[in-house]
Amino acid sequence: MNITVYGSGRWASFLAWYASSAGHSALLCGRGGSASYESLKETRRNAFLKLPDSVSFTSDPLEAWEFSDIALVAIGAQQLRSFCETLKDAVPALSRAAEAGEGAGKTFVLCMKGLEENTGLRLTQVLNETLCGAVDAAVWVGPGHPQDFVGGVPNCMLIDSVSSALTRRLADALASPLIRFYYGEDLIGAEVGAAAKNVVGIAAGMLDGLDVGALKGVLMARGAREVSRLVGALGGSELTVYGICHLGDYQATLFSPYGHNRAFGECIVKELPYPYLAEGAATAFSLLRLSEQTGVELPICQAVARVIRREMPPRDILSGLFSRSTKAEFY
């Protein structure tokens, strides 16, 4: 298959590497002039991997669109709306399909985890809203870091979409000995669960930074329950949160030295700068918006947001989180 990867960061570069390694034709489409794209194009490597010669490059969205059977999108979650608008302007066929409310015969798989900060929308909702349903939308979520995958360490991940037929077709097409894909059956739960695990990851990093990492066990138990109640209120299945999209991703997010969100949480309580994108920071505020809409209490998300806003010393905020009034465990 012809697979286009939109993006040039560490996950996008891995996806191009993975698609090529799995026997597909891979084209990486980056933003011309961006440092990460130009460096990757020139050297075919970054800090995580070396791209094989079979991976092609372009900064032309139209070329990338025409090439793809499947498009994997791996950009910052907060950039998705503007990316869609730019793509629509650059691709006449997409613009016409969006205006007519018709399918354009393309499949977009969103490979980042987050919610739109200003609206609380899931990323497939943003995609459908901006492109008016012109493309088939799916998500690719679950545990794994490029450093592990390129080292040959396998893992399991999840594909989900609004169509079980599309989900199965994508999962079967993208699977390899390195990644086993499960079929998702709850798009709401998959998206919210995958986004929210980054917020729990920030909280885990804060605990590490305060030398109270022993509390991670409680954090994991309470985090999964907190998010499951929200997913249920949004119309998804609470059980989805206990699968690969959320709880199954805790090791990679709360413990791995490669996790950006955990590292961000540790740095913020130590008052150190953190130079990389931590999607959970924006997601914390998105989740609080959903909390207001649904009436579901999200104390972990609220605590993370308060630390990010520097409302009080982090130790005081997190101590308050773990000393809340006693309730039944699974309240």
Residues annotated as catalytic (active site), given as ranges: 197
The 10 Å Cβ neighbour count of residue 300 is 23
DSSP secondary structure of 46-105: -SS-B--TT-EEE--HHHHHHH-SEEEE-S-GGGHHHHHHHHHHH-HHHHHHHHHT---S
Pairing of strands 2-6, 70-73: parallel
**Structural contact between residues 257 and 148, judged by C-beta atoms closer than 8 angstroms:** no
Distances (CA, A) of 87 to 94, 120, 276: 8, 22, 25
**Beta strand pairing call for 56-58 and 70-73:** unpaired
Nearest Cα neighbor of 309 from 284, 289, 331 is 284
Beta bridge partners of 122: 115
How far apart are the C-alpha atoms of 30 and 327, rounded to whole Å?
A: 50
| Cβ pair 181, 144 in contact under 8 A | no
Phi/psi of residue 138, each to 5°?
-145, 170
Could you tell me where the DSSP H helices lie in the chain?
Answer: 10-21, 35-43, 61-67, 80-90, 92-100, 123-131, 146-150, 164-174, 187-209, 216-233, 250, 260-269, 279-294, 299-308, 314-322
> How remote is the C-alpha of 295 from its chain's centroid?
25
